Amino acid sequence: MNASMNANRIAALGANAAANVDVEVVAHTGSTNADLLARATDLARPTLLVAEHQSAGRGRAGRSWLSAAGASLTFSLAWKFSGAPQRLLGLPLATGVALAEAVAAQGVPVQLKWPNDVLKDGAKLAGILIETRGAVDGGTWAVIGVGMNLLMPDDMEQRIGRTVAAAPWLARMDRDVLMAALLSALVRAMQQFEAAGFAAFRARWDGLHAWRAQMVAITDASVVLQQGMAVGVDDSGRLLLDTVDGRVAVLAGDVSLRRAGHWANNCASTGADR
Q: What is the pLDDT of residue 1?
A: 40
Strands (E), 5-91: 22-26, 47-51, 57-58, 64-65, 72-81
Q: Say yes or no to pLDDT of 156 above 90.
A: no
Rg, the chain, Cα only: 18
Comparing 221 with 20, the larger pLDDT belongs to 20
Return the active site residues.
60, 124, 258
User: pLDDT tens for residues 188-211?
Assistant: 999 999 999 999 999 999 999 999
**Which pTM was predicted?**
0.86
Q: ω before 109 within 30° of 0 (cis)? A: no
Mean pLDDT of 226-238: 93
Q: How confident is the model at residue 253 (pLDDT cuts 50, 70, 90)?
A: very low
Among 21-35, 107-121, 126-140, 161-175, the range scoring the smallest mean pLDDT is 161-175
Q: Which of 13-27, 110-124, 138-152, 154-168 has the least mean pLDDT?
A: 154-168
Q: What is the pLDDT of residues 21-45, one digit of tens each?
A: 999 999 999 999 999 999 998 999 9
Q: 254 pLDDT exceeds 80?
A: no
Share of the chain above pLDDT 70, in %: 80
Q: What's the helix, strand, coil split of the chain in %, to 5?
A: 30, 30, 35
When the pLDDT of each residue in the chain is averaged and rounded to a whole number, the result is 84
Nearest CA among 136, 116, 128 for reference residue 205? 116
CA angle, residues 256, 181, 209, in degrees to nearest 5: 30
Identify the pLDDT of residue 222. Answer: 75
98-114 pLDDT per residue, tens: 999 999 999 999 999 99
What string of DSSP letters covers 222-247?
TEEEEEEEEEEE-TT-PEEEEETTEE
Q: Is the pLDDT of residue 60 over 60?
A: no
